Amino acid sequence: MPTDQQLAQGASNRDHRNMQQPAQEQDQQPGREQDMEPRPQYIDPGYKASEKLKGKVALISGGDSGIGRAVAVHFAAEGANVGIIYYDDAEEEDAYKTLDILSDYGVYGEVFQGDISDVDFCSQVVQQVMDKFGRLDIVVNNAAQQFEQSSLEDIAPAQLEQTFKVNVFGMFYLTQAALPHLKEGSRIINTASITAYKGNPVLLDYSATKGAIVAFTRSLSQQLSEQGITVNAVAPGPIWTPLIPASFSAEKVEKFGHDTPMGRPGQPSEVAPAYVFLASNDGSYISGQVIHPNGGTSING
């Protein structure tokens, strides 16, 4: 269970939902959660777990912070053992903080550092999961990068390739590596985005990758239906995660999420329960679908 300090932090973060986040930015991607103010809320202290994932093993890319951390913590609260993938040394502190939180729930957690856009790493990390946990039931493809550019002409080939390598190729590679180990009842959950449906004028390449993820989700769900493996996605709207101050100017960060019908950005704790639903038996008759925690914006899909 979470410590008193973590519950206090969660309650504090919940109070920040209706508060304006101060202007801030970070100088690298992926961003660092420990440098954010206020810190994102990873689980609501009022969340009631009911062992929905007891005994399951989940692997989450980008599980060190933001939505990935929230998903990892919710899965642990529901009884799952969790492996989280983080990218580089800059994320190490966030990754081990997440690992500490998982241990408070009495489950087994493990962190793995590496680049999911490297097909060899994806094969290696899945094998490490099998060696350490003995099974794999849930794959959450969550890691992503985005780079703001005001013009299509400003998107250099290197940026375009990097965005697709991390956001799309990494998803393919990690799922390919995991698939031989998944059995009937396993779950694959992909993180898409509202940008796949609405677009974003300064995130063209990122939005394109998220559209690809929706198509990947729908297609793979059909391919795996006879194996009893469901494939779904979650398409968050503006969520307060390290990706935001790492992507945008301080002025934009200050106004982030205020154009939603709810008038605020969401917290990762408000997104993660959708992953629990799709990962558990509650979502057993759902595949090829997308859930939209986006602050009230109506979109098709």
Report the alpha-carbon angle 72-6-74, nearest 5: 20
Residue closest to 178 by CA, chosen among 277, 73, 102, 83:
83
Q: What is the DSSP string of 79-131?
A: T-EEEEEE-SGGGHHHHHHHHHHHHTTT--EEEEE--TTSHHHHHHHHHHHHH
Report d(CA 89, CA 26) in Å as an integer. 15
Known catalytic residue: 206? yes
Q: Which two tokens stand for residue 73?
A: 């913590």
| Pair 138, 59: CB distance under 8 Å | yes
Report d(CA 131, CA 152) in Å as an integer. 45
Please tell me which residue in 42, 105, 206, 275 is annotated as part of the active site.
206
Positions marked catalytic: 206
